[in-house]
Amino acid sequence: MKIGITCYPTYGGSGVVATELGIELAARGHQVHFITSSQPFRLTGREANIHFHEVSVSTYPLFEYPPYDLALATRMAEVADFYALDLLHVHYAIPHSVSALLASEMIESHSVPARRRRLPFITTLHGTDITLVGLDPSYLPITRFGIERSHGVTAISAHLRERTREAFHIDGEIEVIRNFVNCDLYVRRPDLVAEMRPRFAEPGEHLLVHLSNFRPVKRVLDVIAVFARVAQTIPARLMLIGDGPDRSSAEQLALRYGVQDRIHFLGKQDNVHDLLPVADLMLMPSEMESFGLAALEAMACGVPAIATRVGGVPELIEDKQNGFLFEVGDVDGMAASAIDVLRNPSRLEVISQAARRTAQEQFCATRIIPLYEEYYRRVLERNA
Ligand code: GMT
């Protein structure tokens, strides 16, 4: 198939999923065209079967806000026409589904009659496009319109599908295709861990990790509060991977607790698969997660997560089996649980193995990518 993929190409779970999906599809012989504002950060530009088309937005003194959505729609239609794409697959509804709708209609009413055809598009809902941004009254009606007019809609968890139905009153089909991970890349390699771990922790110290874009929804301050409690009780260090609006508040809080020297603020990192396996435990105390890709990536590396019982997280983490679940803001509970499991290496090992098993048996790319391919076929058939 020839597939056009649009996403936010910088850091963020939806962009990661879209990029990894493109890479996996290309490896399976599909022709993948990324139509994005810049090259998605996990692409090297050297992958076979992958093409990148940059959307550039012209500015004009009259434009207080350059119209990216229109430039995107135009580029989508151009690429679809030139490369005879079979379908467009957009990740994150706002504004991508509306741009795809415009592109699809442009192709259907092409100025050259012989080139008029159906161009189906699929929207994948990732989370805040529904639970946060999409609910903003200035975006809700257009988001709903974009979703309803999509030829196919997928959601990354059953929870998100239900939320979409409730909040947007959408009755049409929403296919649940959960997040996935490349289990060959995200795996604990003892030799690599032995080499990397001394950079982050002394022998005898425990190592915790958090990975996010440091937005308020991730509750990075809870990460610091949990870690401070852990570090008061047992020797421990924390790796913080990512960057974003709450980074300086996190630094301030670390100073207040006096744990700043025990925290590695690593900033944005491309090779998280090399860093995650080095840790013992992940902290993901989010206010909301429609799925929790960061926890899945850690689990594939044998690093269980202490997380919150929100959104789609219980579809990934089973409390006390392959990780731990707490109510939002329960920093004392999370800290006590971390201390308890870190002090008990055999229990940590059992949970770590269960975490890896969950990733492997349910969420490996090899299982999930065929679900996307199958869904593409269905959408193409009914729009033939
Ligand atoms: O919350 C983020 O980190 C970014 C956001 C996005 O859309 O880029 O992530 C959402 O999509 C991820 C991939 O599908 C999910 O694993 C995250 O749970 C989801 N985030 C939220 O729902 C807050």
Q: What residue ranges line ligand 1, CB within 6 angstroms?
A: 12-15, 17, 92, 126-128, 156, 179, 212-213, 217, 288-293, 311
55 or 45, higher pLDDT: 55
Query: What's the gap in Å between 129 CA and the centre of ligand 1?
Result: 9
Query: What's the gap in Å between 28 CA and the centre of ligand 1?
Result: 25
Mean pLDDT over 26-33 rounds to 97
The pLDDT tens digits for 345-354 are 999 999 999 9
pLDDT at position 240 is 98
Q: Which of 280, 304, 278 is nearest to 292 (CA)?
A: 304
The pLDDT tens digits for 190-225 are 999 999 999 999 999 999 999 999 999 999 999 999
- DSSP 8-state assignment for residue 286: -
Domain-wise residue ranges, the chain:
2-180+365-382, 190-363
**Type of residue numbered 44:** T
- Provide the pLDDT confidence category of residue 59 given band limits of 50, 70 and 90: confident
pLDDT at position 381 is 97
Distance of CA 330 to the CA centre of its chain: 24
Which atom of ligand 1 approaches the CA of 212 most closely? 3
Q: Which of 269, 283, 301 is nearest to 238 (CA)?
A: 283
The pLDDT tens digits for 62-118 are 889 999 999 999 999 999 999 999 999 999 999 999 999 999 999 999 999 999 999
Whether 2-180+365-382 and 190-363 share one fold: the answer is: yes
Q: Whose CA is nearest to atom 13 of ligand 1?
A: 13
Q: Which of 123, 81, 134, 133 is nearest to 105 (CA)?
A: 81
> What is the distance between the alpha carbons of residues 26 and 367, in angstroms, rounded to a whole number?
16
- DSSP 8-state assignment for residue 164: H
pLDDT at position 213 is 94
- Out of 3.40.50.10490, 3.40.50.720, 3.30.930.10, 3.40.50.2000, the CATH code matching 190-363 is 3.40.50.2000
Cα angle 170-139-315, degrees, rounded to a multiple of 5: 50
**Type of residue numbered 108:** E
The CATH class of 2-180+365-382 is alpha beta
Query: What's the gap in Å between 376 CA and the centre of ligand 1?
Result: 22
pLDDT at position 35 is 98
